[in-house]
């Protein structure tokens, strides 16, 4: 039965599972069903936008899409009560659990765990802490047992620890193989693999020639495409599985490494905050499997590939384009790659290359003259370093668009208004307890006062975050000026390598559209930011910040301020720059 205290409360639920397999199996559905049932039992209405679900996201990080939106809604005062199945669904690390529980409570959100009640008593606080520590310990034990189990199975020669069966093989699980998983040879694909090794090891063809021969013969790639990528051919020719020695442990997991830009149509924060790196061949564990080619031919192919690499005239170990890895298409979000035509070079969208898009173009965006685009971007970087104060000027202009409020201006004493409403609520409660007003008058008046109080508290917290952001901006401007003084002397005589280093330090990505080119600088204020009523707290930088741009720009580029990442420069707050298409679309 709903209580009088729950009438009018805005409810929300949060659910999470740790892997894609759990999400596909529907294990999260049981959490959501239990949460919906509890919300209905409490007599509350759950809106569709108040369902925060993270399917397949690990609890070892706070950077999850639904958790991001949930924390933003809580900070904005849009949630009164949050239902979660258990504390380990919020996070698997004890420190993150404490941070989230404290943040939600400071925002006025009542937390309800289905497996236990959360109160302010010391026993309940101790139980919550113990559960958090046990959840983190359980996760570490599961990972360690899984690692040791896979390592033991690989040393025992079991193929079920391999990620997948490569081209030319088929994996047969133990349920169909008589109790022991095996990897069988696919005869039709195995003949293709033998031909590829013979072409390189005996006929001494290049990888590009092998890819063209496969396409001319109408042989589909491992993904069913009509053409073969050179990387796919190279991966097959270097895979020791084909000589009967499948390798386990080719890669290892490390902390997530910084990328130049996120992959196409993927968030900047992946489901698992880790990166994979290749391990030395001597650390691999060999698992015997049926061989398709002999070891001598495999070694001959390796020697030929090394010789082709040394003799290839166009092969270069250093980058050839100034903006390499930074340019993306503003329409299809594919990367733009450098392409030379006679004495000029262009940046061309990958989506405009039919052979890389399963035979059909997916984008009609034009190519951009490389020399003009690189010169325009370099001029904008120099303009930013020459006048760092434009970051602060634009920040002041965009702080409150349309309201006329400038940085530094404050509303009429919000803390005094909060205290006034709190005293008003206290007087209403005293009047009701003494019988001076009835229940029919007390409930709507106190409900309205509490809503007003939540709005004032949210406004006060927003103002506090705004003031902290201004302090951060002033610090960043000073550091940017110091960095500018260090490099300004050599900007005019900067060589190609120095230009590339500065651009990769300042620029996040360059979006090429049909009518304009946008230079987006690195953005963010962190790794520490102001948490609600709690000073500096790690991992609270994930909230979106106001974007900034410059007010005055050269005729070639209208630049915006950006985040600078260098040894002597901290993070800034910025938006993007717009480059007119006059840089030469082709």
The highest-confidence range among 296-300, 316-320, 432-436, 577-581, by mean pLDDT, is: 296-300
Range with lowest mean pLDDT among 473-482, 512-521, 525-534: 525-534
pLDDT at position 530:
33
Mean pLDDT over 120-145 rounds to 72
Bigger pLDDT: 307 or 536?
A: 307
Residues 471-489: pLDDT tens digits?
766 666 666 666 666 666 6
Q: What is the mean pLDDT of the chain?
A: 75
| Cis amide leading into 527 (omega within 30) | yes
Mean pLDDT over 162-174 rounds to 88
Bigger pLDDT: 538 or 60?
A: 60
Q: Is the pLDDT of residue 442 over 50?
A: yes
pLDDT at position 353:
80
CA 346 to CA 340: how far, in whole Å?
Answer: 6
pLDDT at position 294:
92
The closest alpha carbon to 556, from 379, 309, 381, 390, belongs to 379
CA 123 to CA 100: how far, in whole Å?
Answer: 19
Mean pLDDT over 352-362 rounds to 76
pLDDT at position 480:
64
Determine whether 148 is exposed, middle or buried from the number of CB atoms within 10 Å of its CB (0-12, 13-18, 19+).
exposed
Mean pLDDT over 557-568 rounds to 30
The segment(s) of the chain belonging to CATH 3.90.1750.20 are 161-249+284-311
Contact yes or no for 548/395 (Cβ under 8 A): yes
Helix (H, G, I), strand (E, B) or coil at 525: coil
pLDDT at position 218:
92
Class of domain 4-146: alpha beta
Q: Is the pLDDT of residue 199 over 90?
A: yes
- Return the CATH number of the domain spanning residue range 161-249+284-311: 3.90.1750.20
Helix residue ranges per DSSP H, 388-545: 389-398, 414-433, 439-488, 496-506
The highest-confidence range among 126-140, 219-233, 452-466, by mean pLDDT, is: 219-233
Range with lowest mean pLDDT among 64-68, 152-156, 373-377, 488-492: 488-492
Q: Is the pLDDT of residue 259 over 80?
A: no
The segment(s) of the chain belonging to CATH 3.40.50.1390 are 4-146
CA 586 to CA 584: how far, in whole Å?
Answer: 6
**Cα dihedral 547/551/555/556 (nearest 10):** -20
């Amino acid at each position: 039965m709903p209580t009088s205290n729950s009438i009018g409360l805005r409810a929300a639920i949060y659910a999470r599972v740790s892997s894609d397999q759990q999400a596909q199996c529907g294990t999260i559905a049981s959490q959501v069903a239990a949460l919906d049932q509890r919300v209905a039992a409490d007599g509350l209405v759950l809106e569709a936008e108040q369902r925060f679900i993270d399917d397949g996201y690990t609890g070892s990080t706070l950077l999850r899409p639904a958790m991001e939106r949930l924390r933003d809604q809580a900070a904005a005062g849009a949630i009164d009560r949050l239902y979660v199945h258990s504390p380990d669904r919020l996070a698997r690390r004890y420190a993150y659990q404490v941070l989230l529980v404290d943040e939600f409570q400071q925002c006025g959100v009542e937390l309800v765990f289905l497996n236990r009640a959360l109160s302010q008593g010391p026993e309940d606080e101790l139980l919550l802490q113990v559960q958090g520590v046990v959840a983190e310990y359980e996760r570490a034990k599961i990972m360690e047992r899984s690692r040791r189990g896979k390592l033991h199975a690989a040393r025992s020669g079991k193929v079920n620890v391999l990620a997948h069966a490569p081209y030319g093989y088929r994996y047969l699980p133990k349920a169909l193989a008589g109790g022991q998983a095996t990897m069988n040879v696919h005869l039709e694909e195995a003949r293709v693999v033998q031909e590829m090794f013979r072409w390189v090891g005996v006929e001494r063809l290049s990888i590009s020639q092998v890819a063209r021969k496969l396409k001319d013969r109408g042989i589909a790639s491992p993904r069913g495409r009509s053409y073969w990528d050179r990387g796919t051919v190279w991966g097959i020719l270097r895979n020791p599985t084909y000589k009967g020695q499948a390798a386990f442990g080719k890669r290892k997991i490390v902390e997530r490494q910084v990328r130049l830009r996120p992959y196409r149509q993927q968030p900047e924060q992946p489901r698992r905050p880790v990166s994979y790196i290749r391990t030395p061949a001597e650390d691999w564990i060999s698992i015997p499997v049926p061989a398709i080619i002999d070891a001598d031919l495999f070694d001959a192919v390796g020697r030929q590939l090394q010789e082709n690499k040394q003799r290839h005239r166009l092969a270069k170990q250093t980058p050839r384009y100034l903006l390499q890895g930074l340019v993306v298409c503003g329409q299809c979000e594919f990367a733009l790659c450098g392409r030379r035509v006679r004495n000029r070079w262009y940046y061309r969208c990958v989506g405009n290359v039919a052979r890389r898009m399963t035979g059909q173009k997916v984008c009609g965006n034009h190519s951009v003259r490389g020399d003009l685009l690189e010169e325009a971007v370099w001029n904008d970087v120099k303009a930013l370093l020459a006048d760092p104060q434009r970051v602060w000027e634009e920040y002041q202009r965009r702080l409150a668009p349309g309201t006329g409020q400038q940085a530094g201006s404050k509303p009429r004493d919000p803390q005094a208004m909060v205290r006034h409403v709190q005293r008003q609520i206290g007087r209403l409660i005293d009047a009701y307890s003494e019988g001076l007003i009835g229940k029919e008058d007390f409930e709507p008046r106190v409900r309205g006062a509490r809503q007003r109080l939540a709005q004032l508290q949210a406004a006060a917290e927003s103002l506090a975050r705004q003031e902290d952001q201004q302090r951060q901006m002033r610090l960043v401007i000073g550091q940017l000026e110091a960095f500018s003084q260090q490099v300004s002397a050599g900007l005019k005589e900067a060589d190609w390598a120095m230009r590339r280093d500065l651009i990769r330090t300042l620029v996040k990505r360059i979006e090429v559209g049909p009518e304009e080119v946008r230079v987006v600088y690195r953005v963010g204020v962190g790794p520490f930011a102001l948490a609600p009523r709690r000073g500096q707290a790690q991992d609270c930088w994930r909230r979106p910040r106001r974007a900034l741009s410059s007010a005055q720009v050269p005729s070639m580029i209208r630049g915006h301020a950006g985040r600078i990442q260098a040894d002597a420069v901290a993070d800034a707050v910025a938006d993007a720059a717009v480059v007119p298409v006059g840089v030469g679309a082709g």
